[in-house]
Amino acid sequence: MSVSFRQVERDEEVETLAHMAHHIWNEYWPALIGQAQTDYMVEKFQSLNAFRADIADNGYEYWFIMDDEGDTPRIIGYTGGHTESETNRFFISKIYLLKEHRGRGIAAAVTRFYEQLCRDRGLAAMYLTVNKQNKMAIRAYEKQGFITVDAVETDIGEGFVMDDFIMEKPLA
């Protein structure tokens, strides 16, 4: 599959991003973390207001993952994160794909995208957090050279906890 990345820049694109996030999260996460925590996390981290605040206040950048096969490129997922100058790393906050595009090797393309972005910015590594129960994602990240460097439990409010591995990929 041939994919490309289109930066989310205009407000209507941020609206599309939030709509896609709501759809993807509700098709994937309830089985792993329950509907109540899914709803809470979508509102807190994946909603229109959350994306707007991330971009305006926290230095986040977002990209649509585009399927370039066929006559018209179409959005099949999204990714985003931000540079951490204090650690000289890029934090990959989000990589999410529509159901029909998971398990098709797109993680490799996303990793290559971030490797190039990190090299262009002179960063030493990239890292992400992944739910400990998200076995498919963990396998995909390991296949791309990420290694588990820590395990964390983060209280995100309302009685919910994110139980994650921190995975990092140093750049040569």
Residue pointed to by tokens 């921190």: 166
Residues 85-118 have pLDDT tens digits of: 999 999 999 999 999 998 888 989 999 999 999 9
Number of Cβ within 10 Å of residue 129's Cβ equals 18
Q: 93: buried, middle or exposed (CB in 10 Å: 19+, 13-18, 0-12)?
A: middle
47, pLDDT greater than 90: yes
What is the predicted pLDDT for the residue at 70?
84
Q: Which of 143, 139, 138, 142 is nearest to 164 (CA)?
A: 138
Give the pTM.
0.94
